[in-house]
Amino acid sequence: MAAPIILDHPLIQHNISLLRDKNTGSKDFRELVSEIAMLMCYEATRDLPLKEVEIETPVAVARTNVISGLKLAFVPILRAGLGMVEGMLALVPAAKVGHIGMYRDPETFEPHEYYCKLPADIAKREVIVLDPMLATGGSAIDAITQLKKRGVTQIKFLCIIAAPEGLDALTAAHPDVQIYAAAKDECLNDHKYIVPGLGDAGDRIFGTK
Ligand code: PRP
Ligand code: URA
């Protein structure tokens, strides 16, 4: 079981401060989520396997590395995960993208799946699941369970803000999944919102409130 990795690079921390500000509007919020995802992607792909190849330069033959191993797929959890896709694809444009739709019941806080469309070869890919918010962990746990049912064996989970409760729950449910977060916040409130958090990520990205 690997401990969650907190990606607290200064550029990421600065952008998260702007993201948390209740006065940041949807346009800026979307751009910040995308930029943070791109910075996180750089770190989350640090362990991609390499293989040595020979390349002829104009001067000599170089022994040099290229990426090997499984190809990547990104799977955003709808809706808010959609905001992270563009930033991820900026670094890995050849990745395929699947979608899992989840909403959290406002009364019970239980996640409900309403959509799932994945690349046909998903089981042969390393999958990075995307959601800006890890609160109770229910949505992430169910999305990852769906991926495992379809044969996926290598999974990472990338979120921007995580509650300690969500980190514990996701680690317990899927100890093989490496979690990357950009900030570990204090706790959840009575409505299971992350404190201090940034509010409802989906509403802020899409301007629905
Ligand atoms: C939010 C968020 C996560 C989930 C986190 O989605 O984007 O998917 O809540 O909460 P959890 O860890 O307690 O499951 P929401 O259900 O609000 O749907 P939306 O993205 O469509 O707004
Ligand atoms: N979903 C959000 O968008 N924000 C939270 O704080 C918790 C769940």
Instruction: Kindly state the tokens that stand for 106.
Output: 């406002």
Which residue's CA is the closest to the ligand 2 atom numbered 1?
200
pLDDT bracket for residue 1 (50, 70, 90): confident
Nearby residues of 9 by Cβ (< 8 Å), 6 or more positions away: 39, 43
pLDDT at 2: 85
Q: What percent of the chain has pLDDT over 70?
A: 100
Q: In the predicted model, what is the mean pLDDT of residues 100-121?
A: 94
The per-residue pLDDT for 106 is: 85
Q: How far is the CA of 113 from the centre of ligand 1 (A)?
A: 11
- Check whether 104 has a pLDDT greater than 90: no
Distance 197 CA to ligand 2 centre (A): 8
Residue 203 bears catalytic tag: yes
Q: Is residue 10 scored above 80 in pLDDT?
A: yes
- Across the chain, mean pLDDT equals 97
> pLDDT per residue over 47-59, tens digit each?
999 999 999 999 9
pLDDT > 90 fraction of the chain, expressed in percent and rounded? 94
pLDDT for res 70: 83
- One DSSP character per residue, the chain reads -PPPEE---HHHHHHHHHHH-TT--HHHHHHHHHHHHHHHHHHHTTT--EEEEEEE-SSSEEEEEEE-SSEEEEEEEETTTHHHHHHHHHH-TT-EE-EEEEEE-TTT--EEEEEEE--TTGGGEEEEEE-SEESSSHHHHHHHHHHHHTT---EEEEEEEE-HHHHHHHHHH-TTSEEEEEEE-SEE-TTS-EESS-S-HHHHHHT--
Mean pLDDT of 116-125: 97
Residue 209 has a pLDDT of: 84
pLDDT per residue as tens digits for the range 161-177: 999 999 999 999 999 99
With 0.85 as the threshold, say if the pTM is over it: yes
Cα(199) to ligand 2 centroid in Å equals: 6
- For a substitution probing ligand 1, which of 102, 187, 191 has the most ligand atoms within 8 Å of its CB? 102
Q: Is 145 noted as a catalytic residue in this protein?
A: no
Ligand 2: which of 200, 204, 206, 209 to mutate, judged by most atoms within 8 Å of the beta carbon? Answer: 200
pLDDT at position 45, please? 96
Q: What is the pLDDT of residue 88?
A: 98
